Amino acid sequence: AVAGGAVAAAVAACSELVESLPETHRTLIKVLTNLRDRPSEPKYRRLRLANPQVKRVLGDVEQARRILECVGFCERPDEAADGSGASSSGTVLVCEGGKLDEPLVIQLLDLLTGLAAGR
């Protein structure tokens, strides 16, 4: 029941984004397209919130966060790029291991692109 509620919230969030936040809508389509086309590619499963544009367009937008969390993303401390394990100043939204819900990525991507076409 919880998963169904999360999906319903994500679908509602998609509808809210089309008119009110077109840049977020376009960016989510890009993120979900990358996940659909390359689900095992690590670089498409990490969104650095230290990047001001990512933070503004996705990280600070509640509807975008709902959609990303629904497909498997969660917030984690960012690790240093050198692999030392030291924590950097930021956080990332990351979709780890088997947490990616690929059928839901496709469903939400279809919904977002359909809403864009219907504008």
Tens digit of each residue's pLDDT (9 = 90 or more) over 29-80: 999 999 999 999 999 999 999 999 999 999 999 889 989 998 999 999 987 5
Choice between 94 and 9, residue whose per-residue pLDDT is larger: 94
Average pLDDT of the chain is: 83
d(CA 24, CA 36): 18
d(CA 87, CA 95): 18
Banded model confidence at residue 82, pLDDT cuts 50, 70, 90 = very low
Would you say the pTM of this structure is higher than 0.95? no
pLDDT at 28 over 90: yes
d(CA 80, CA 60): 23
**DSSP structure string for 38-102:** -TT-GGGGEEETTSHHHIIIIIT-HHHHHHHHHHT-EEEEEEPTTSS--EEEEEEEE--GGG--H
